[in-house]
């Protein structure tokens, strides 16, 4: 793998590698862009099969954070970090968290860490014992669990999709939610409160049961696949890479709008296929920006009402991207163009100032 070449192709500014002999920590931090501001993005703990796989993931995720922040009109750049676990399910420790915090500190604020898969508010607090450049803890750092804001933002994005499709409001809808975890459960709750029928699925059966018992959702039986169901909205809220050649031909939904990151296996190819099939896809980094808005907002000193207004603004942003997509091959490409315009704006201003 030629890392510098990959950085050139995707426009990454900085990638740092670290191994800590005392704790065994192996980690990578990638800063994709600081054009709009310091790069905020979560730390993922994952048992990658190889270092190459970890590098690929951190480069892809950090680039996505640049677009997410830009599209949400936040003065923040995009970054991400990964911790390479020795085995799946490896329990986090304070020593590991503190070692990661020291690594984050070496970036002196250019990179600001937060939660991601495998990282809890407690882990963020352990990191915060060594660096100020971390959001998402509850005691040492601030922000806590961003999932309520992520779910709310996706719900707002759904409203824009429905208006774009000329579809009637929630009480007449059937919505499928894949993944009943932190974000999926809260999204299902919002949909139920708005009057929709909600069908859920989760590989972790107790999480699915909770949605049935507490929210009155219906569960997909073992013999059925949620992605094959006739739905108004499909909300992937579990893993990435769930929409590709193996799943898209079977879809019977009108709209896709969920919390999962990187839903499309290949954003260009699969975004275009969805558009050709007449399925409205709300680009993931537009729809699921609520959590980032919350943590970045607190970092930037925004008030709760300013943060709420920005999360509400996801509806407007989704509408704008869907409108622009009418003259583009896909909503996924329209969303990247939309974000890139925001990133290029400061350069255009700087160029104008230089010209005097």
Residue 239 makes contact with ligand NAD by CB under 6 A: yes
Could you confirm whether 80 is annotated as catalytic?
A: yes
Residue 149 CA to residue 276 CA, distance in Å, equals 31
User: Of 151 and 321, which has the nearer Cβ to ligand NAD?
Assistant: 151
Distances (CA, A) of 338 to 66, 72, 147, 183: 12, 10, 25, 25
The upper half-sphere exposure of residue 321, i.e. CA atoms within 13 Å in the direction of its Cβ, equals 33
Residue 176 CA to residue 253 CA, distance in Å, equals 9
Residue 297 makes contact with ligand NAD by CB under 6 A: no
Provide the minimum distance between the beta carbon of 49 and ligand NAD in the complex, in angstroms, as a whole number: 18
x/- track of binding to ligand NAD for residues 139-178 (CB under 6 A): -------xx--x---------------------------x
Residues 80, 159, 189, 310: which is the catalytic one?
80
Distances (CA, A) of 332 to 62, 79, 115, 199, 252: 17, 20, 25, 26, 20
Residue 61 CA to residue 261 CA, distance in Å, equals 9
Coil, helix or strand for 207? helix
Residue 250 makes contact with ligand NAD by CB under 6 A: no
Residue 277 makes contact with ligand NAD by CB under 6 A: no
* Subset of residues 313 to 352 that bind ligand NAD, contact rule: CB under 6 A: none
Which residue in 64, 97, 240, 297 binds ligand NAD (CB under 6 A)? 240
Provide the minimum distance between the beta carbon of 313 and ligand NAD in the complex, in angstroms, as a whole number: 16
Provide the minimum distance between the beta carbon of 336 and ligand NAD in the complex, in angstroms, as a whole number: 17
Cβ neighbours for 187, distance < 8 A, ≥ 6 positions apart = 151, 154, 155, 177, 235, 237, 258, 259
How big is the site for ligand NAD, counted in residues (CB under 6 A)? Answer: 24
Cα 341 to chain centroid distance, Å, stands at 20
Find the residue with minimal CB distance to ligand NAD: 181
Q: Tell me if 317 sits within 8 A of 156, measured CB to CB.
A: no
Residue 190 CA to residue 211 CA, distance in Å, equals 12
Residue 203 makes contact with ligand NAD by CB under 6 A: yes
* Subset of residues 177 to 196 that bind ligand NAD, contact rule: CB under 6 A: 178-184
Provide the minimum distance between the beta carbon of 115 and ligand NAD in the complex, in angstroms, as a whole number: 7
Catalytic residue IDs: 80
In the complex, the residues that contact ligand NAD under the rule CB under 6 A are 146-147, 150, 178-184, 201-204, 207, 237-240, 259-261, 288, 291
């Amino acid at each position: 793998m030629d890392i510098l070449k990959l950085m050139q192709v995707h426009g990454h500014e900085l990638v740092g590698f670290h191994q800590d002999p005392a704790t065994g920590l192996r980690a990578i931090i990638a800063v994709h862009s600081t054009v709009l501001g310091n790069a905020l993005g979560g730390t993922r703990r994952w048992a990658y099969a190889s270092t190459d796989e970890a590098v690929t993931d951190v480069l892809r995720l950090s680039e996505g954070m640049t677009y997410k922040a830009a599209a949400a009109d936040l003065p923040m750049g995009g970054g991400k970090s990964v911790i390479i676990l020795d085995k799946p399910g490896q329990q986090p420790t304070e020593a590991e968290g503190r070692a990661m915090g020291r690594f984050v500190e070496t970036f002196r604020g250019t990179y600001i860490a937060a939660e991601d898969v495998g990282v809890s508010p407690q882990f963020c607090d352990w990191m915060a014992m060594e660096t100020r450049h971390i959001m998402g803890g509850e005691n040492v750092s601030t922000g806590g669990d961003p999932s309520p804001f992520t779910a709310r933002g996706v719900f707002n994005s759904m409203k824009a999709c429905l208006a774009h499709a000329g579809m009637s409001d929630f009480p007449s809808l059937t919505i499928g939610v894949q993944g009943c975890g932190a974000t999926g459960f809260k999204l299902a709750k919002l949909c139920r409160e708005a009057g929709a029928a909600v069908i859920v699925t989760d590989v972790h059966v107790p999480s699915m049961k909770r949605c049935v018992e507490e929210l009155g959702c219906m569960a997909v039986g073992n013999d059925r696949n949620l992605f094959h169901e006739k739905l108004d909205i499909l909300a992937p809220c579990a893993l990435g890479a769930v929409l590709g050649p193996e799943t898209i031909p079977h879809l019977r939904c009108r709209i896709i709008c969920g919390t999962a990151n990187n839903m499309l296996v290949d954003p260009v190819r699969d975004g275009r296929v969805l558009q050709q099939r007449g399925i409205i896809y709300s680009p993931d980094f537009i729809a699921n920006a609520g959590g980032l808005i919350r943590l970045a907002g607190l970092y930037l000193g925004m008030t709760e009402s300013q943060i709420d207004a920005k999360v509400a603004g996801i509806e407007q942003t989704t509408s704008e991207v869907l409108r622009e997509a009418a003259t583009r091959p896909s909503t996924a490409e329209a969303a990247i163009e939309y974000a890139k315009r925001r990133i290029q704006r400061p350069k255009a201003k700087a160029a104008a100032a230089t010209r005097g």
